[in-house]
Amino acid sequence: MTNHWVDIKNTDLVLIMGGNAAEAHPCGFKWVTEAMQQRKAKLIVVDPRFTRSAAVADQYAPLRNGTDIAFLGGVINYLLTNDKIHHEYVKHYTDATFLTKEGFGFDNGFYSGYNEQKRVYDKSTWGYQLGADGYVVADETMQDPRCVYQQLKKHYSRYTPEQVSKITGTPKDQFLKVCEQIASTSKPDRVMTILYALGWTQHSVGAQNIRTMAMIQLLLGNMGRPGGGVNALRGHANVQGITDMCLYSEVLPGYMGAPTDADTTFAGYVKARALKPLRPNQMSYWQNFGKFFVSLQKAWFGPAATKENDFAYDWLPKKDAPYDVLAIFERMYQGKMNGFLCQGFNPLAALPNQKKLSAALSKLKYLVVMDPLTTETSEFWRNFGALNDVDPAKIQTEVFRLPATCFAEEEGSFTNSGRVASWKHSVGVAPGEAKADSEIFARMFVKLREMYRKEGGTLPEPVLNLYWPYQKAEQPTSDELLREISGKALVDLLSPPDPKNPKEPPKLLLQAGQQVPLFATLRDDGSTSCGNWLYSGCYSQAGNLTARRSTSDPSGLGTYPQWGYSWPANRRILYNRASADPAGKPWDVARAYERWDGAKWTGPDVPDMAPGAAPEQNVGPFIMNPEGVARLHAIGMAEGPFPEHYEPFENPLGVNLMCPTNPKAVSNPAARVYKGDLEAFGKPNEFPFVGTTYRLTEHHHFWTKHARSNAIVQPAPFVEISEELAKEKGISNGQMVKVKSNRGEVKAAAVVTKRIRPWEVNGKKVHMVGVPIHWGFKGVTQNGYLANALTPYVGDANCQTPEFKAFLVNIEKA
Amino acid sequence: MDMNRRQFFKVCAGGLGASSLAVMGFSPTEVLAQVRGFKLDRTTETRSTCPYCSVSCGVIMYTRGDGAKNNKPAIIHIEGDPDNPVNRGTLCPKGAGLLDMIQSPNRTKYPEVRAPGSNEWKRISWDEAIERIAKHMKADRDRNLIKVNEAGTTVNRWNTVGFLASSAASNESGYLSVKVTRGLGMVAIDTQARI
């Protein structure tokens, strides 16, 4: 989240779209209820089905799965056509005034630069025009047809209310009513918050779904404001923390781009990522990349990382290809993987196309599962009849199942969706011989290191030199690890020479061995160590700040500045300088946040700005961007600088109504589809209904089926269909049905409900079949088919999140 | 000490059970039904975080057991932490069932191995498990780590092993995992954030 959970209470309008907070995040949803009761805030829910969030909303609008960009594109069109934007905010805090390049264009589904063969864009025509000084060229009047504002207007003029309704199935009057409400927050003293989750991410256009909303929030001036922001309701208690520690292939801790084969030198690697400002005076905070990276290498390789060996740059593996989980299982499926370590994750249940996953796992030489519970993945080789139809004799994978502790038995910090890291304690005892994940990993590493010491082998150096300063080598404590993450001085740190007094002796800023106060202290010369610059400061000389438990909230805005530690730098709302106008005066006095007091930025939160940057210097609030402002035109996206509607890969129409004459642009032209998976897509003549997977209030993924009380309240698998579809197919409530996709099938009881209604899409009636995911063949609930037997193996073009939310199925009585 | 029934209940409601009163020398003239002390009185409170969704509600776990060598603490109750500014002591149906997950009959207890082609698990020791896994990994890494790519660039990449990280493990555990996996040269690593 750019904001945080309690901050939701400060809003005037809540939009829940691509999410279902009342059911999936019930205790967080209480803040929506608070806003509605205390501030008379309104709640709008836009969703394919009438969820429990919808049940308490002021307005519910239905929407066909996978058409969110069409809907939101229509909202952008409404805002621009009716001039319902926060003008000053847009002009000063976004790139609306910047000129795009002459060659940039969009025609019939493709942007300029599309390579059909490779399914990738040459982005040289995208982006801003730069002047001779290397800075962006802008038109302050926003009249130049090349400026971002005019390009935006032109692009979204195609998303008329009629067109939106045709594609999404949302009745036009309901769509316009939503637009009106959203437009009301363009006033400086009204804000909207967006709460979204997997309903947006789990699509082949997932990243652009979210981006469209971010653009709307920018046009309305809702970023950096209390009660505003773009707020992801994430899926697991520490998925935010694990994401921040960057346990995925594209990045190193703190979201630093990981080295690729193209980064042949250390200097080149750093230079490409230390982005210089694109306008005068901008902070462009990634300029400091070198300091963060070198400090990380000192944490990982300690004294073995020196200036002479480029701080052990070569010991880091370089990335040559995608290694996201779909790519990993594709490689596995092709027999290119030998081993797999699976920690607290159940891919056989959680990833798409069970049949393909099972075949992939069967090709491994060794599988190591570390989990507190017995999972489907750990027993992928066992026959469970129709639920897992395999022959163990044919599966040669050696499988190790290691008992891990669960959350209650581990001490350490968790970071919630609002970026607040909090320390938790352990009850101190686990069942049987279960061990903490960190101990399991430490043991494996220590054993490997011992073997490399004794026997040698390929590239032993990084293994032998991995910095391992822990008191007990096989049991590093969370305290030791958090200190390492937060960072320390390795030598006495002296102040840099003062240009005004060059003869002045340097001051001692920090002693060797002391924890750094913040990432601003980090250096690129090997004198500091820091495992994750974003978390730097969370364990300072003052102690473990994630363990703070102060319930003091001086401003009353729910900031709780001393409860835990909110990255970065304990900032609770990101981009909070944007809560004030260009002169430094709060846009909204009633919810005044940061402001310029004549000498510095001040307010209830840590300013997201250099504290002494006077407003006249025009330092933009979006300090990580080299332009200093937020992007309406974003070249970092795979399929285009402006989001465009593309249909899910399995869709009921067979045509993209935004570009009906271009059959190559029906679905995301930049998304990756593997050979074999393309053939596994179903067609609407055989699978006429939109299938979708989702979650129930009482269960969490494939986890709570092991808990008796949750099993009691939701014991048995079911699928949901509308009364209309039930009538068409002669299915009665509770009857066993078979739901089939081109990849597999699920048998369950049918729940016939009013909460699902068919849409009218381009004159055609389209039905949906809803498949809650929570059952499998290991648990204390009744066993059930894995829902992901049905789903397609294709993901978002930017981040490869699978398209679980929109695919094609058929249904019949079982 | 002489006290009537009403007085006795008043005293017991304060948390002392009838047996404690007897120990201190007071006992009612009539024998009354044993009063149970408040269940959570002698428990240890441990503050933790629910592992399910990303509201990451604060929870308090109550364990009974005095921590002596032969006395393993057992969690007898879990409820929301009222001090936590986000959930203020509330829990949802998922969190409310946490005790049953912690004490699930499906908790893994011992390292096990399933041999190729076999239809069953075999229990092994931790030492054996770690030894065998490390042997697999070393043989794999020694044979398959790519030091230099076709263009002559040093890449030091080991892409024949993969790793999926837990999102219910702590930040510290996650950090150690990425340090070790990157240190070994692994590139095929991912997390639930992906899906």
pLDDT in tens, A601-612: 999 999 999 999
Nearest to A242 among B132, B165, B195 (CB): B165
Q: Write down the mean pLDDT value for chain A.
A: 97
Distance CA A408, CA A430 (A): 9
Nearest residue in chain B measured CA to CA from A557: B85
pLDDT beyond 70 at A336: yes
Per CB-CB distance under 8 Å, the chain B contacts of A253 are 175, 178
- Is-contact A697 B93, C-beta < 8 A? yes
Query: Most distant CA pair in chain A: distance in Å?
Result: 91
- pTM over 0.90? The answer is yes
pLDDT score at A207: 98
Q: Phi then psi for A99, rounded to 5 degrees?
A: -90, 135
Nearest to B49 among A336, A422, A455 (CB): A422
**pLDDT (tens digit per residue) in A271-292:** 999 999 999 999 999 999 999 9
Contact A236 B167 (CB under 8 A): yes
Closest CA to A629 of A136, A50, A18: A136
Cα distance from N-terminal residue to C-terminal residue, chain B: 68
Per CB-CB distance under 8 Å, the chain B contacts of A437 are 166, 169, 173, 177
Contact A432 B110 (CB under 8 A): yes
Per CB-CB distance under 8 Å, the chain B contacts of A463 are 183-184
Per CB-CB distance under 8 Å, the chain B contacts of A402 are 108, 111, 129
CA distance A480 to chain B (A): 9
Q: Phi then psi for A358, rounded to 5 degrees?
A: -65, -45
For A148-160, give the DSSP string.
Answer: HHHHHHHHHTT--
- Point out the residues of chain B with pLDDT beneath 50: 18
Residue A63: which residues within 8 A CB-CB, separation 6 or more? A17, A46, A47, A48, A71, A168, A169, A170, A759
Per CB-CB distance under 8 Å, the chain A contacts of B45 are none
* Helix/strand/coil for A268: helix
Nearest residue in chain A measured CA to CA from B189: A248
**pLDDT (tens digit per residue) in A93-134:** 999 999 999 999 999 999 999 999 999 999 999 999 999 999
Contact A549 B143 (CB under 8 A): no
**pLDDT (tens digit per residue) in A136-158:** 999 999 999 999 999 999 999 99
**pLDDT (tens digit per residue) in A223-251:** 999 999 999 999 999 999 999 999 999 99
Q: Any chain A CB within 8 A of the CB of B192? A: yes
Angle between helices A148-156 and A68-81 (to 10 degrees): 120
Amino acid at A543: G
Average of per-residue pLDDT across A662-682: 96
Beta strands A493-494 and A488-489 are unpaired
Distance CA A67, CA A208 (A): 11
**pLDDT (tens digit per residue) in A678-725:** 999 999 999 999 999 999 999 999 999 999 999 999 999 999 999 999
Beta strands A192-196 and A13-17 are parallel
Distance CA A218, CA A2 (A): 13
Cα distance from N-terminal residue to C-terminal residue, chain A: 43
The ipTM assigned to this model is: 0.97
Per-residue DSSP letter, A248: S
Distance CA A336, CA A86 (A): 53
CA distances from A218 to A512, A549, A616 (A): 44, 34, 22
CA distance B80 to chain A (A): 10
Per CB-CB distance under 8 Å, the chain A contacts of B111 are 400-403, 433
pLDDT score at B12: 56
Residue A778: which residues within 8 A CB-CB, separation 6 or more? A373, A374, A375, A376, A379, A705, A706, B106
For chain B, the C-alpha Rg in angstroms (whole number) is: 27
Give the pair of three-digit tokens for residue A486. Answer: 């937060």
Neighbours of B36 (CB within 10 A): 9
Nearest to B174 among A245, A394, A779 (CB): A245
CA distance A425 to chain B (A): 6
pLDDT score at B40: 85
Average of per-residue pLDDT across A44-71: 98
Contact A458 B145 (CB under 8 A): yes
Distance CA A515, CA A543 (A): 9
In degrees, to the nearest 5, what angle opens at C-alpha B139 toward C-alphas B135 and B142? 135
- Is-contact A15 A240, C-beta < 8 A? no
**pLDDT (tens digit per residue) in A570-624:** 999 999 999 999 999 999 999 999 999 999 999 999 999 999 999 999 999 999 9
* Helix/strand/coil for A136: strand
The residue to which tokens 């990432």 are assigned: A519
Q: Read off the pLDDT band of A399 (50, 70, 90).
A: very high
Q: Any chain A CB within 8 A of the CB of B95? A: yes
- Residue-wise over A321-352: b if at least 16 C-beta within 10 A, else e? ebbbbbbbbbbbbeeebbbbbbbbbbbbbbbb
CA distance A679 to chain B (A): 22
Q: How many residues does chain B have?
A: 195
pLDDT score at A31: 98
Residue A344: which residues within 8 A CB-CB, separation 6 or more? A370, A371, A372, A404, A437, B165, B166, B167, B168, B169
Distance CA A389, CA A380 (A): 10
Give the H/E segment covering residue A692. Answer: strand A689-694
pLDDT score at B22: 56
Provide the CA A132 distance to its chain's centre, in angstroms.
37
CA distance A357 to chain B (A): 14
- Is-contact B86 A27, C-beta < 8 A? yes
Contact B49 A553 (CB under 8 A): no
Q: Any chain A CB within 8 A of the CB of B34? A: no
Distance CA A551, CA A280 (A): 41
- Is-contact A15 A32, C-beta < 8 A? no
Chain B residues 4-33 within an 8 A CB cutoff of chain A: none
Nearest residue in chain A measured CA to CA from B143: A458
pLDDT beyond 90 at A662: yes
Per-residue DSSP letter, B53: S
pLDDT score at A497: 86
* Helix/strand/coil for A658: coil
